[in-house]
Chain A
Amino acid sequence: MKIKVMKFGGTSVAKAESRMISAMRVISAKEQGFKPVVVVSAIGRKGAPYATDTLINVLREIDPNVEPDARELDLLVACGEIMSAVIFAHTLKTLGHSAQAFRGGQAGIRTDGVYGNARIVGINPVSLIRSIEAGKIPVVCGFQGVYAPGDGSPGGELTTLGRGGSDTTGAAIGAALNADAVEIYTDVDGVKTADPDAVKEAPTLRQVTYDEVAEIAHLGAKVVHPRAAEIAMNYGIPLWVKNTFSDDVGTEIVTREHFPGRRVTGVTHTGKLVYLQFDLNIATEADRTVLEGRIYETMERYGIGLFMLNLSPSSTGFALPRAQYPTVKAILDGLVIPVSVEEARFYLIQIGTKPSMDVETQATLLKGMGDVRIVPTHLTEGCTMVSLVGHEYMQQPGVYLNVLTALVNGQVTVLQTSDSDYSLSVLVPEADTNRAVKLLHDRFGLAEVS
């Protein structure tokens, strides 16, 4: 039995017309002799009536100050995929092909009990197999599973899989059914060397390794989620990224052995960042440990995503998503950190050049209580992290030089740098994003990559 798992993203199931195109791809696979198993995302992307973000906003709009319960949130957002699966199955039925919709739990997907970010612990695909053997096309809700708490409660608890959840569902079902291929359908031709908004001529890569795709996703371009790629790799299931709306062959995600040599894979970017640099010159070494520890402990507690971390004897800094900055400002600006009760020494964090009302209030309250030292914190708003991703490439002499030369010659200001085994990143002003991407794309000859 040749099984092909076909996962369709939000834009592929957003409208009747796009669902019809997606359904025809399923039927085509069936006519080629495959037993298709469909996985669907919720209908549409951000802003669409039944998209995950829209559903979450329904709760937030009731009272933005009351955080929804994670369990209830999972029940709510899972509705998007349930509707999508039922509608897709019915679309197939109208085209003369018997289909059957499954919730994640009905498809046998068991997870751990972490609401909102569950991990798949096992799949018992018996229902899917029965459906296939009965000549039907199973249509499975992506992004969800069920957790059995083991307390005797019937039915288990619905969980969602977090970021990349539907891709992960597709790959996991492919592994459970020992599929011939898993195809992730989206609205781009596959993994490109750069965002086409920045580089129109950016080619589609025909093959990328798991590490490359994982690093590309880590650095901002989420064509396929690394969790899905990892499962496919572990089980040896061929994984493809394809465009629902074109006949391009797409990108195959392959094992590292396919690329024994080195190459530059592409240029990616993560926008909408702000950069905070805490000036610790006024602190003693012992005090710096307390200050930095407190800053990072706070970031940990509030789950802030950190990019481009930078530690030095005189300062510490990091970039964070602009969306999380109001939270960080509310916590850190005006935060008083007492470091020595005996010596009555306090540090007061001030974000930006002008003290806010919070900082002034705290300074007034601390007046006369001891030694109060302001921690000046430089804020750079409107930043983007632009990254060169490569396979065994970054360790070559001159790569940094090439990157910085291209950007400096192109009049792009480099605010900070960061690198790892697979990437080299620069922080640049957001206004220069597309120019920076294009400059690096040209410098490393990526138009010729395939």
Chain B
Amino acid sequence: MGAIGRGSAETEFEKKRGVSHVEIRHGFSQVHVSRIVGEVMAERLRIMDLVSKAGISIDFLKLTPSGMSFLVAEESADLLETVLLQCGDHFSVRRDRSIVLVYAVSIRDEEGLIAAIVRTAITNGIRVDHIGDMHDRMLMVVRNVDAERLAALYRETLLEIP
């Protein structure tokens, strides 16, 4: 039997279900573009084109009825403001954003977990600007001042071993 190797012994095979850890990424700015008049999608594309040509990457794009919002790295915020001024003044840049990442392997297979993560933030009075998800994590964009508190809440309520 020994020739078979390490598998002969009983071992842990899978990560436990549920939230495994929580982390924070700092250093983002949130941009809102609003009150676009005329052809909204065409104007969104025009703005994105200018942003792209300035070498700025955008994340967490959300379409709103008369505009859009998105996230950029904080170091791009000054340049972004210069670019957006070319398109008018209907925009705002909020520089104090962080992403709280909640990790759970095969998160969609855990029924109700995604809703639980969102509910935890909302019911504790934390305003979430954007949400994204991946196979093993959820990403919540919040104000810097809320990030540590939200991460702590997740560790307390969703982690088996905080």
Q: Which A residues have a C-beta under 8 Å from some C-beta of B?
A: 1, 110, 114, 117, 119-126, 129, 162-164, 168, 172, 175-178, 211, 214-215, 217-218, 225-227, 230-231, 235, 289, 292-293, 296-297, 299-307, 309-313, 394-401, 404-405, 408, 414-423
Whether, in the assembled complex, B75 has its beta carbon less than 8 Å from a beta carbon of chain A, the answer is no
A312 lies within 8 A of B64 (CB): yes
A306 lies within 8 A of B14 (CB): no
A178 lies within 8 A of B7 (CB): yes
CB-nearest residue of chain A relative to B120? A296
**Shortest beta-carbon distance from A388 to chain B in Å:** 13
A299 lies within 8 A of B112 (CB): yes
CB-nearest residue of chain B relative to A173? B7
B45 lies within 8 A of A114 (CB): no
In the assembled complex, the Cα of A141 lies from the Cα of B11 at a distance in Å of 20
Whether, in the assembled complex, B85 has its beta carbon less than 8 Å from a beta carbon of chain A, the answer is no
Given known contacts A297-B119, A404-B44, A423-B134, A175 and B56 CB-to-CB distance under 8 angstroms: no
Residues of B within 8 A of A162 (CB): 109
A300 lies within 8 A of B131 (CB): no
B52 lies within 8 A of A397 (CB): yes
- One digit per residue, 1 when the CB lies within 8 angstroms of any chain A CB and 0 when it does not, for chain B 5-39 equals 11110111111110000000000000000000000
A296 lies within 8 A of B52 (CB): no
Residues of A within 8 A of B92 (CB): none
In the assembled complex, the Cα of A326 lies from the Cα of B12 at a distance in Å of 39
* A/B interface sample: 15 pairs, CB < 8 A: A121-B14, A122-B13, A123-B11, A172-B13, A217-B135, A218-B134, A230-B14, A292-B122, A305-B108, A306-B115, A400-B48, A400-B58, A404-B48, A419-B59, A420-B139
Residues of B within 8 A of A304 (CB): 111-112, 115
**Shortest beta-carbon distance from A390 to chain B in Å:** 12
Given A178-B4, A293-B119, 18 other A-B contacts at CB below 8 A? A121-B12, A129-B8, A163-B106, A163-B109, A164-B109, A175-B7, A175-B11, A176-B13, A178-B5, A218-B135, A226-B105, A227-B105, A296-B119, A301-B112, A398-B52, A414-B63, A420-B133, A420-B139
A289 lies within 8 A of B52 (CB): no
CB-nearest residue of chain A relative to B119? A296
Total residue contacts A-B, CB cutoff 8 A: 188
A110 lies within 8 A of B58 (CB): no
CB-nearest residue of chain B relative to A297? B119
CB-nearest residue of chain A relative to B1? A129
In the assembled complex, the Cα of A395 lies from the Cα of B62 at a distance in Å of 16
Whether, in the assembled complex, B87 has its beta carbon less than 8 Å from a beta carbon of chain A, the answer is no
Whether, in the assembled complex, B146 has its beta carbon less than 8 Å from a beta carbon of chain A, the answer is no
Q: Is the interface of B mostly helix, strand, loop or mixed?
A: mixed
In the assembled complex, the Cα of A215 lies from the Cα of B13 at a distance in Å of 20
Interface size bracket, B side: 35 or more
Given known contacts A123-B10, A414-B41, A421-B134, A289 and B125 CB-to-CB distance under 8 angstroms: yes
**Shortest beta-carbon distance from A256 to chain B in Å:** 13
A401 lies within 8 A of B4 (CB): no
**Shortest beta-carbon distance from A48 to chain B in Å:** 23
**B112 touches which one: A177, A300, A419, A423 (CB < 8 A)?**
A300
Given known contacts A122-B11, A417-B62, A300 and B116 CB-to-CB distance under 8 angstroms: yes
CB-nearest residue of chain B relative to A309? B131
A289 lies within 8 A of B122 (CB): yes
Residues of A within 8 A of B54 (CB): 397
Whether, in the assembled complex, B159 has its beta carbon less than 8 Å from a beta carbon of chain A, the answer is no
A119 lies within 8 A of B16 (CB): yes
Near A by CB (< 8 A), chain B positions 131-149 give 131-137, 139
Residues of B within 8 A of A231 (CB): 13-14
B49 lies within 8 A of A401 (CB): yes
Given known contacts A178-B7, A311-B129, A401 and B45 CB-to-CB distance under 8 angstroms: yes
Given known contacts A177-B4, A300-B115, A404-B45, A419 and B10 CB-to-CB distance under 8 angstroms: no
**Shortest beta-carbon distance from B119 to chain A in Å:** 4
Residues of B within 8 A of A114 (CB): 17
Residues of B within 8 A of A395 (CB): 57, 59
The 10 closest A-B pairs by CB, nearest first: A303-B111, A122-B10, A398-B52, A218-B135, A296-B119, A299-B115, A176-B7, A300-B115, A178-B5, A293-B123
In the assembled complex, the Cα of A395 lies from the Cα of B64 at a distance in Å of 22
Whether, in the assembled complex, B128 has its beta carbon less than 8 Å from a beta carbon of chain A, the answer is yes
**B13 touches which one: A120, A217, A306, A401 (CB < 8 A)?**
A120
A311 lies within 8 A of B132 (CB): no
CB-nearest residue of chain B relative to A175? B7
Most buried by B among A110, A227, A394, A397: A397
